[in-house]
Structures are given as structure tokens and as C-alpha cells.
Structure 1
């Protein structure tokens, strides 16, 4: 759960990245437009991928990501024996049946609201936040590192490269648009949450001077926790909602999917979903895109289920593009 959104970091759409921040000047950024793409339909048929699967640790899943070419899934949780503000994460690797086939520990990295994967041959490079702020457990930088089963990484591990793509930004998370080969970075700047898109080929070399798009995250539902985000082409997707304890009373469900048109600068679709309404606890957690073509593309959204001390992961998806 992204609790910071409850304290006012989620605000309405506003001006583009201010001149003087790392990246292109505001005047140039405002003239940019992403090539037109299709978008996922929020009210499309819900497909269930897997239900009530244990991860390596017992806490709720925060987010997930797919290595599409290598058919791998990664999911992160806060590590059970550490405090939430320590920023220590457990990362599980899953197969496509939802079985855990490996794990890593990320010490002092952040909260895990979003992660990304960059496939390079048969190697999965993970993109995450890192350098957790002890005041709130959120990342002050972003990191890229290869999957290493059984490893424990810190921010100074030799296999890891870390970056601060926006010099005056904080509360960083990131994800990868594998289809369009972009790194998306969400961050707080001047009291609002923003998202920048960068060419992945430059970002993986630590270059963040080309900003393909920059926008303020739009206002979603007031008072409802922010739970995940993803980018596919010219659209950003947001996921929100809170848990309810095993009662399929539809009036308690507030799990909502949102689609934002980056070029138009506005929300173009939303849907209150009852997917997994019979799950015990049912807390929305995590959003990710699978696929490297429109024909294979899926927008996944997750739920945590189960009881405290034994939380489980559940994946559902949309695959209708319009």
C-alpha cells in the first residue's frame, strides 16, 4: 500500500517538469508528443491468472513485473522481520503457474510500489527504487541490477547501479515499458507526484537528459489508497483501493482501474472492478504490463489475500486493446 498518497502527495494534473530540473526544459517538454498507441479497455472482461499463491515471505505483495521474453514473474514484499521504514524488500521470482522458484533480499531499498524488468538476452535486469529514506521507507534513488537467486543486495553492492534522474525529486519508483522500450519514473517534486518517461537504452547507461514525456499524476479518488501504476505506449494506468475482510458485499469494494492519456493530459477511462470479490482480505496491490506486441499485451492488477502472517498473491488481467 502506498500510504504516502494519503498524506497529500497525490494531486491533480499540472505544469510539466520545471526548467532547471534534470531533463529537458519545460518549454521543450510541453511540445513533445508520444506516438499514438492503443490502450487497454478498463471495463473489458476480467481474466484470472492465478489465485491465493504464497510468495517467499508472508507479507502482502506490493508490486510485480514480467520478463516477457524469458517468461518470468517478479514480485516484491516488505521483509517480514524488518520495520516498514527500513525499506528492506523480499523479491520472489515466480513461474507462470504462480510457484516461487527463487528469491532475493534488497536491504534498504524502499517500499516497492512499482518495479520493472529489462530483459537482456536470458538475463533479467530489475529496476527498483533504492536508498530508502529512514523517515518514510521510500526510495531516494532508482537502481538497476541483474537477478541473482539467493543474493542479498544493498545500495552499495557491486552488481547494482543507482541513479537520481530528477535532481530535486524524492519518493522514487520506476517501471519498464518493454513494448516501447522506455523507463517510466514516478517521483515527488514540489508536493505532487509526477511521472517521466525516458528511452530505456539511455537510462540503462545512466543518461536521463532525454525526457520523452513528463506529467503530473492526475487526481484519483480522494481518500482511497494508491496501489500501483504501469505505462504502455501513450497511456499510463493507475490502481487504487483498500482491503475488505472476506465479505463479498459489493458496497465495500473500492478497487478501481484508471487510464490516463499522456498526450491529451486527461483521464480517458476508469472502472470499479469486483474481480476476486470472494477473496479474504482482498487488498489491491501492484500493476504491470506483460507482452511485447499488441497481440500479446496484458494489463495485470494484483490483490493480496489471506490472513496476517500468511498473505497470498492473486493476479488478474485485461487484454482488450482499443
Structure 2
């Protein structure tokens, strides 16, 4: 693994310290390890329920993804910054409460597209794991970890960021954190294809990406990728497009689950009609949350509203099999 040189003091204040050498994953490697804990999976055919609809974000662009801080009860939503080129990688992270009401925001310059990100609770603070160092297409080429600061702004060169390149020869990165089973999924582009690596959060916090719990080339999944997340042994994908003349109600948003220990599809694609009555309705983001009562939920995100006034909508599934 490679990491940009930083002063020792700033690393120790950051996300887990200096990373160790990455696991040597060669061209064409299948599952390098299969050590993700067994778990039930969400039944994607079961109904979805509303968390909220039509909530405003800090900016008016379409949301890209979202993630929860389950310890501090915070919700963060990523979107492209108002007035910026999609290829610039400039993001706005909006903090909402669980009713969908606005709390604050943070601006990120030169980070990436925002397909997925993770939140790591650190005491009373929320630390974000995102992509960073956007390439010419607007996708991040490394992972970054930094503290969420209300009203703050970070450029890609900021010393407040700890940067990681967990997989040798990977050229694009995003990640998502499973807050229940304490794993990080790193989706990355390598050798012309998307691959999945899974790491224990205990190792991630220590900056050690040398022992992936699973590694495989992403199976073929039809449709436009709009988000992913993990719960235990299973990885979930959301695909689809906004309503249009060629994609009328109920749309083409689908869910797929993949077994992390085999790399094979477990269920799907399954058409989801969550939020089918929304105006515009573009699928955008997946995340997992466990309630204080112990119910695990798979959340689905959709953008709605007119151009120049896009809104956030979250729904969830809670049936495990």
C-alpha cells in the first residue's frame, strides 16, 4: 500500500496512522480470502418503507450517496457542488437529522464523484472516508479520511486529510462501511474491471490494508451503478436511471445482493418500486443502519424534484432471511 508522506503528528491525529504494505493481489486474482462472518441477508423482494421524502440539502444538485454515523445519530448526504463541472470532483456533504431536517454542510474540492462513502464514529466526532484526488473524469484515485467539520471546506491538498491507496495498481476508489459487522468495502478499478476488497475496520483504523477478508472481481451487474453497501456476508448494489420517456413509472431501479465470500450474486436483480410516485426519481445511494431497538435496515436513496431544486428521499427494507 502507498500513502502520501505526512508528518508523524498529523498522521497520529488522523485515521489510524501509517498504512502497511498492501496484500499482493495479482492480475486475474479471484477470491484472495473468504473470511467475512456469516450473516443473514436482506430479502430484496420485501416492501420498502419511508424514512423521509422531499428534504432539502445544502446544494440543489442531485444527491449521489449517503451514510450514517450510528453512534452519534447523524446522517450525511453527498452531492456535486452547485455550479461546478461534474469532472472537477467538487462535493458538498450535507448533514441531516433522522427526520431529514438540515443541520450543516461541508465542502470538498477535487475529491471525486461521490458514488459511495463511509462514516467512522470517533467519540463525539464523525470521520468521513471518501475518494480523493479526482482524475480527468471526476473519479477519485485514492481514499481519504478526515473529520467532518460543520461549515468547513477542504481542498484535495489539505494536510487535514490522510490518504490511502490500499490496492496496488488500482486507479479509482470508493468505499462503504458496514457499521453492524464492522467491515469496510473498497470498490476499485483495476486491470480494466471493478474489484471488491473487504477489510476489518479494526485493521482500517490501524492503517493496515494487508489482510483483506475477501477480494474478487465484481460480477456482471446490469444497469447504471448508483450505489453500494455491505451488511455482514452480503454486498448490495443499487442500479437504475431517472424517470424519462424511455424509462417511465415504475422505472428501472434494481437491487442486487452478492455473497462476499464467493463473489457470486445471491439475489437479484430485483425491481424496486420504493418512492415510485416521486417526481423525477433517480436512484442514488445505499447504506445500512441498525436502530437502537436492534433492527437492521437497508436504506435506499432517491433524488426527486425539479432541476434546480432537487430533493433527498430515503426508504428502507428490514426483512432478513
Shorter-normalised TM range: 0.7 to 0.9
- 1:238 maps onto 2:265 in alignment: no
Distance in 1, matches of 2:263 and 2:81, equals 37
| CA deviation profile, 1:47-91 (whole Å, cap 9, x unmatched) | 111001110000000000001111100000000121011000000
Shift of 1:136: 0.2
User: Could you tell me how far apart the structure 1 residues matched to 2:293 and 2:37 are?
Assistant: 15
CA separation of 1:64 and 1:99: change in aligned 2, threshold 3 A: same
Normalising by structure 2, report the TM-score: 0.88
User: For residue 144 of structure 1, what is the aligned residue in structure 2?
Assistant: 145
Distance 1:292 1:205 in 2: 27
Contact persistence 2:31–2:216 (CA under 8 A): no
Distance 2:319 2:294 in 1: 9
Q: How many residues align?
A: 298
* Alpha-carbon displacement from aligned partner over 1:96-120 (angstroms, at most 9, x marks no partner): 1101101000010000000101111
TM-score if structure 1 supplies the norm length? 0.87
**Please, which runs of 5 or more residues in structure 1 have no aligned partner?**
1-20
Q: What is the aligned partner in structure 2 of residue 302 from structure 1?
A: 301
Q: Aligned partners of 1:279 and 1:245: how far apart in 2?
A: 13
**Superposition deviation, residue 179 in structure 1:** 1.3
Q: 2:316 is matched with which residue?
A: 317
CA gap 1:31/1:110 in 2 versus in 1, 3 angstroms? closer
1:4 corresponds in structure 2 to none
Please give the root-mean-square deviation of Cα atoms over the aligned residues, in Å. 2.1
C-alpha separation in 1, matches of 2:31 and 2:243: 41
For the Cα contact (< 8 Å) 1:118–1:125, is it kept in 2?
yes
Q: Secondary structure at the match of 2:121?
A: strand
Contact 1:142-1:162 at 8 Å conserved across structures: yes
Partner of 1:95: 97
- Secondary structure (helix, strand or coil) at the match of 1:310 reads coil
Q: In the superposition, relative to structure 1, how do residues 131 and 294 fare at CA in structure 2: closer, same or farther (>3 Å)?
A: farther
- Partner residue in 2 for 1:227: 226
Contact (CA 8 Å) 1:108, 1:155: kept in 2 or not? yes
The corresponding residue for 2:128 is 126
1:257 has 2:255 as partner: yes
Inter-partner Cα distance in structure 2 for 1:248 and 1:97: 30
Paired with 1:64 and 1:30, the residues of 2 have a C-alpha distance of 29
TM-superposed CA distance for 1:22, in Å, is 3.1
TM-aligned CA deviation for residue 296 of structure 1: 2.3
> What's the CA shift for 1:247?
11
Cα 1:156–1:206 shift into 2, 3 Å: farther
Quote the offset at 1:29 in angstroms.
5.3
Cα-to-partner distance string for 1:121-155 (whole Å, 9 max, x where unaligned): 1111110000111x100000001111100110112
Residues 117, 126 of structure 1: 8 Å contact kept? yes
**Cα distance in structure 1, aligned partners of 2:303 and 2:154:** 25
SS of 1:156's equivalent in the other structure is coil
1:194 aligns with 2:195: yes
Equivalent residue number for residue 73 of structure 1: 75
